[in-house]
Amino acid sequence: MRKHLPFFVLALFMIVQSPLFAGSNIQMSTIDQTIRAVRSISSMSDALVERGVKQAAALWNDKDGTQQDFQKFCKEYYCKDLNEKTALFNRICDNFEVIYGHNHRISIELMRPEQLTGYEATSVDQLFGAYSGMAHFQEDMFNSKLAFVVILNFPHFTLKEKQRNGHRWSDLEWGFVRLGDVFTSRVPSSVEQRIANVSTAANAYIDNFNINMKQVGSYHNEFFWYSSLPLISHWGLRDELKAAYADPTHGIDKQEVLYDVMKRVIKDEVPLDVVKQDMSYKWYPSTNQIMLNGIQILSDERNPKSRYQFLLDFFRAEKAADEYCSNNFIQRKFEEEYEISVEDAEALFVELLSSPVVGDVANLISKRLGRKLQPFDIWYDGFKSRGVLDQGTLDRMVKEKYPNKEAFAADLPNILQKMGFDQTKAKFICDHVAVDASVGAGHAIEAKMRDDKAVLRTRVGSDGMDYKGYNIGVHEFGHNVEQTISLHDVPNYFLAGVPNTAFTEALAFTFQGKDLELLGVDVDDPDAEDLKTLDIFWNCYEIMGVSLVDIRTWQWLYNNPNADANQLKNAVMTIAKQVWNQYYAPVFKTEDELILAVYSHAIIDPLYLPAYPIGHIIDFQLENFLKGKNMGDEVTRIYKLGRLNPDLWMERAVGEKVSVQALLQQTEKAAKNVSSKPKKTPKK
């Protein structure tokens, strides 16, 4: 009786995947002969042999060899039994960790001058930052035929197959399947390098797109920022707008100015002299006029390359890769990276956006503010305990505690122990995290090998870390904790990580929500749990609309592949208005607002934004599960599950699939429970 892996039988009786691409030089007669030949020497299942041979044939071209070469290769490299296959898998794990890990570290080091403070800029920084040692990886693997060894023995399984059969698979079998996800297309290195170049250029553009609020005035010629305050778009602008809720005197005035700035960013109308932070200018974003040496002028000077040109460059670079793949970039992002279809993601978002609970929460916010809602209240921050605390007090507290990045790094083990991690685990995690002062808003970078460290980056000023930097730093540390556990504690290297970026965002949000508690700030609030639920809900409401704009922009690009940057800009603004009018105008009582298009992620990391709302949902489910449990123990247990498919991960982690139902139900209760008598922001 022929031996086989049990889980493959169930999967392969249902479907044997056809070749991924047309144009293979391998004839069907050769494929059939090869399948029979391999079956005669291997004890692996017949269906698995057929899948591996067919997928290898689909990617074999004239440069790889003749029909006879293909058949000989398959007979030579197909594993004879499970023991041989397991030994091959373990060797590939070891070697790929070396390749991925060291090349990843090279990229991190080469990008330091552009991403970190303390470096003098040179003309070659961006060129080095664009270099990727992995740009030729796929091509090299196919040329050496190592890719074909993998495809033959570890063929690819579709998303539907993973969803249908994943609960039956062992950790080793899941590792086999994840290895099968590595070589599903054959994109030339020149195309991969083009994508890397576009990404580097876009990141450099956004990292340096800062507005110094000291030079920004209101429509009434009022200046509310008296010291230098450069704010990166969009993160810094948004966070300053949130902080203004705690300002009872000029809070709403500041928010209106910031909102005007954001609209100029979206319209690509910020004068270049403002972006350069030439402090001899005064800028009035409501009219887009600038004043130079007391003389009012209208500046026509803009950035030579618009934000929409960077997005267009991304589209063209990714579209160039489409012809070498079985699907387009949207499908690759969702079905391969997020492992949720774009249709399912949109349905999840629309379910919450269309809920009547939105109106309940909006009415509560309006009562708490003591005024009608404004469009920028999508970022209402008053449900957080810190929403009623003075920003200056928080800044002073954080700067005293963390005068430099070293002080923050030294305190990370204490932060983990406060969260329930034991001393040994806390030390292990923190020994594998490096802290840097960032030029940009902040980010976390995973390690790709166990001998390396994850990277935590946030802004640290010359006078110390302010509250915003700390808040972001705690968020990024949540990423680092996940990254370290899911690299070191998983069953095998190809299970390293989480199902998709939403799952690392979930833990980052959980950490970020504890920032005041970690500072030792005790806000005695009987409504704390309800407020937290409302905060997560309102964050979902905001970012789900932003995500729909991101998705529909890419759908528009594929329907209009020859568009120029100006046409794309107009399309993005139209899409933003349409999403606003459908899901936000009924609540805010104003139409055609552009604000959902302000996020810089859309420029530097296309289609990353949907990870946030999914992350918020998972965060809510995760935090509900963690109540009354030791967070350190549970987080360690959960994040060493590794890169299963999303629903299976959630079922094993917290006992339920990804869903907005619990959030909607608890939000409805919270809106009724919460008092509407907090400290109000005075009417203007």
Q: What's CA 54's distance to the chain center, in Å?
A: 34
Rounded CA separation 544/621 (Å): 17
How far apart, in Å, are the Cα atoms of 634 and each of 150, 196, 421, 658?
A: 35, 37, 9, 18
**Residue 435 structure tokens:** 């802290």
- Identify the pLDDT of residue 285: 95
Rounded CA separation 258/218 (Å): 9
Rounded CA separation 238/261 (Å): 10
Q: Respond yes or no on whether the N-terminal peptide bond of residue 167 is cis (omega within 30° of 0).
A: no
Side-chain half-sphere exposure of 181, counting CA atoms within 13 A: 21
Q: What's CA 547's distance to the chain center, in Å?
A: 11
Length of the chain: 684
Q: Do 113 and 204 form a contact (C-beta atoms < 8 A)?
A: no
Q: Do 7 and 41 form a contact (C-beta atoms < 8 A)?
A: no
Q: Do 548 and 554 form a contact (C-beta atoms < 8 A)?
A: no
What number of other Cβ atoms are within 10 A of residue 467's Cβ?
A: 23
Rounded CA separation 48/16 (Å): 8
* Residues β-bridged to residue 436: 457
**Residue 567 structure tokens:** 């046409």
Q: What does the angle CA 11 – CA 17 – CA 21 come to, to the nearest 5 degrees?
A: 155
Q: Which letter does DSSP use for residue 520 in this model? A: T
* Residues β-bridged to residue 457: 436, 443
Q: Which of 37, 51, 41 is nearest to 8 (CA)?
A: 51
- Identify the pLDDT of residue 15: 39
**Residue 573 structure tokens:** 């603004």
- Identify the pLDDT of residue 299: 61
Residues 290-321 as b or e (16 or more Cβ within 10 Å = b) = bbeeeeeeebeeeeeebbbbbbbbbbebbebb
Strands across the sheet containing 289-292: 281-284, 289-292, 295-297
- Identify the pLDDT of residue 300: 55
- Identify the pLDDT of residue 11: 41
- Identify the pLDDT of residue 5: 41
* Residues β-bridged to residue 212: 230
Q: Do 551 and 329 form a contact (C-beta atoms < 8 A)?
A: no
What is the domain partition of the chain in residue ranges?
A: 6-184, 204-305, 308-361+528-673, 390-519
* Residues β-bridged to residue 464: 461
Q: Do 281 and 298 form a contact (C-beta atoms < 8 A)?
A: no
Q: Which of 615, 616, 637 is nearest to 626 (CA)?
A: 637
Rounded CA separation 450/223 (Å): 51
Strands across the sheet containing 433-437: 433-437, 454-458, 442-445
**Residue 233 structure tokens:** 């778009």
Helices (H), 526-610: 528-559, 565-583, 585-588, 601-604
Place of tokens 């922009």: 553
- Identify the pLDDT of residue 148: 98
Q: Do 24 and 60 form a contact (C-beta atoms < 8 A)?
A: yes
How far apart, in Å, are the Cα atoms of 248 and each of 111, 364, 387, 393, 501?
A: 42, 19, 12, 15, 37
Phi, psi of 433, deg, nearest 5: -130, 130
| pLDDT by 10-residue block (mean), the chain, 684 residues | 38 40 76 97 96 96 95 98 98 98 95 91 90 88 97 95 95 98 90 91 92 94 93 94 93 97 96 86 92 74 80 97 91 91 95 97 95 97 70 92 96 97 97 94 94 96 93 96 98 95 88 90 79 93 98 98 97 98 98 97 94 88 90 96 95 94 94 68 41
Strands 289-292 vs 295-297: parallel, antiparallel or unpaired? antiparallel
- Identify the pLDDT of residue 676: 55
How far apart, in Å, are the Cα atoms of 612 and each of 75, 109, 358, 361, 501?
A: 46, 27, 18, 20, 8
Helix (H) or strand (E) holding 305: none
- Identify the pLDDT of residue 509: 87
